[in-house]
Amino acid sequence: MLTLGIDSSTQGTKAVVYDTAAGRVVASAAVNYGKDLPEFGSPDGFLPNADARVRRANPAMWVKGLELVLARLRDGGAPMDEIAAVGGDAQQHATVYLAADGSYSRAESPIWMDSSTGDEVSALDARFGEALRARTGSPAIERFAAAQAMKFAKEDPEAWARTTRVHLLSSYLTSVLTGTDAPIETGDGAGMNLMNLQTLAWDEEICGFAAPGLLAKLPRIHKPGDAPLKLAERFAEFGLRPGIPVAPFTGDNPASLVGCGAATPGCAVISLGTSDTFFAAMPDFRTDPDGYGHVFGNPAGGFMSLSCFKNGSLARDRVRRDCGADWTFFDETAFALTPSGNGGKRAFPYFETELTPKHDATGIEANFDWNAAAPEVRIRAIVEGQIANMRERTRWIGDFKTIYVTGGASRSKGILATIREMFGADARTLEVSDSAALGGALLAARAIETAK
């Protein structure tokens, strides 16, 4: 049986066709927004803005990316007519605002990197305090839908009044695929500051405070085990069979949890991507006492913990380029030339406003003369700074003997060695490319069983 998994991430869209019997990917395709869709003016997956706190994208780009990746699969000879179900994911926290006629009532969608809602977060904190974290699994967060909707409603009340539906990107793409007003799946819906994780229902009090009429503008909630949707007729043009089951898309991190084989408690996953994330399945509901980590729904049932570090691979790449180094030097040579611990020299890149812990975008902060140091010293200082911060901020999740490492940087020998040392765990590169898309394909297979 073949299933299709689609991953709509920050910088592009990927798709895999997965053979469930053989346990392998038989076809794949990818779209890079900057390279393949230059008309949207988003070289890194978002619209440039002079304010580093503002990170938004044209939602039409995501639909175009979906269509283009399907066309590339079809044109590449993938057996599209044999695909039995579709599943997928999208970057978490991106929100799409629709008018009654299906047009965009908000032309630019805020994405997970947006941190321009500080006033709204303060208002949520003042009103709910610790109760917000106890109910929704997270403290008030700038990129979450509650703060984003609040800011939009205040700044453009006319456009807010025209808005009839507030989707996550995941539920919006599911709507596109099915031609319906698709639900929000609990794994992704948990990252909104709006869903009560004890009841898996929208919290009426929080919704009412966040923005007028917000509750009525939210889709219904899709819980694990609920019936899947069906593929719309128009996707026959890509060789797919209309009517096959579509599992409502989840967030990229919940999908990766499934794709990495970590949907049951016992191991953790570090994903080294545009942002770095640390996540693991949780046997029970509990929250980060320091307020930085999050609790989301696990698409396989139960919950998952997650801590996100905004300055990830893009930050490492910028340091690499500033050092005039190639990737071999960054991943291996720099670590061979420097001792573990780097002689106490430690640095952290704040090129983007950091989330964990919160920190403004101020560039490199180091405890030594950054500009005078050798490239190998700067590289190790950055990597050790990032991993040390990750270790400290994820202690609340627990200790793990095994950590699977995924993402492009998971092939770095220096980064893997640093993870092993600082976490005291067996860090293994997960030989699964496109783990989020694979998770979507596996969730599609589950949708077939649910549909029976």
Residue-wise pLDDT tens for the chain (452 aa)? 999 999 999 999 999 999 999 999 999 999 999 999 999 999 999 999 999 899 999 999 999 999 999 999 999 999 999 999 999 999 999 999 999 999 999 999 999 999 999 999 999 999 999 999 999 999 999 999 999 999 999 999 999 999 999 999 999 999 999 999 999 999 999 999 999 998 999 999 999 999 999 999 999 999 988 999 999 999 999 999 999 999 999 999 899 899 988 888 889 999 898 889 999 998 788 888 888 888 888 888 888 999 999 999 999 999 999 999 999 999 999 999 999 999 999 999 999 889 899 899 999 999 999 999 999 999 999 999 999 999 999 998 888 999 999 877 888 999 999 999 999 999 998 766 688 999 999 999 999 888 76
Structure tokens at 360: 């403004």
Superfamily of the domain at 2-254+433-451: ATPase, nucleotide binding domain (3.30.420.40)
Q: Return the residue matching tokens 């706190």.
A: 53
Cα separations (Å) of 208 from 63, 100, 409?
Answer: 30, 21, 42
Q: Which of 319, 300, 323, 303 is nearest to 311 (CA)?
A: 319
Distance between CA atoms of residues 93 and 252, nearest Å: 10
| Model pLDDT, residue 225 | 87
Ranges of H-type helices in 225-285: 252-259
Distance between CA atoms of residues 46 and 11, nearest Å: 8
CA atoms within 13 A on the CB side of 239: 16
| Model pLDDT, residue 432 | 67
Distance between CA atoms of residues 160 and 106, nearest Å: 8
| Model pLDDT, residue 451 | 75
pTM across the whole model:
0.84
CATH number 3.40.980.20 is the correct assignment for the domain at 261-431: no
- DSSP H or E segment with residue 445: helix 435-451
Instruction: Answer yes or no: are the C-beta atoms of 147 and 124 closer than 8 Å.
Output: yes
Q: Which of 210, 58, 57 is nearest to 144 (CA)?
A: 210
| Model pLDDT, residue 302 | 83
| Model pLDDT, residue 261 | 86
Instruction: Answer yes or no: are the C-beta atoms of 215 and 275 closer than 8 Å.
Output: no
Q: Which of 230, 242, 111, 235 is nearest to 170 (CA)?
A: 111
Cα 356 to chain center, whole Å?
A: 15
Distance between CA atoms of residues 272 and 193, nearest Å: 25
Name 99's bridge partners: 163
Could you give the residue range(s) of every CATH 3.30.420.40 domain in the chain?
2-254+433-451, 261-431
DSSP character string of 325-373? --HHIIIIIHHHSS-TTGGG--EEEESS-EETTEE---EEEESS-TTTS
| Model pLDDT, residue 51 | 94
Q: Return the residue matching tokens 């270790």.
A: 391
What is the separation, in whole angstroms, between the first and last Cα of the chain? Answer: 15
Structure tokens at 264: 């049951």
Cα 145 to chain center, whole Å?
A: 14
Q: Which of 300, 302, 184, 55 is nearest to 192 (CA)?
A: 184
Structure tokens at 356: 């964990």
Cα angle, residue 175 at apex, residues 172 and 179 outer, rounded to 5°: 150
| Model pLDDT, residue 416 | 96
Name 24's bridge partners: 19
| Model pLDDT, residue 15 | 98
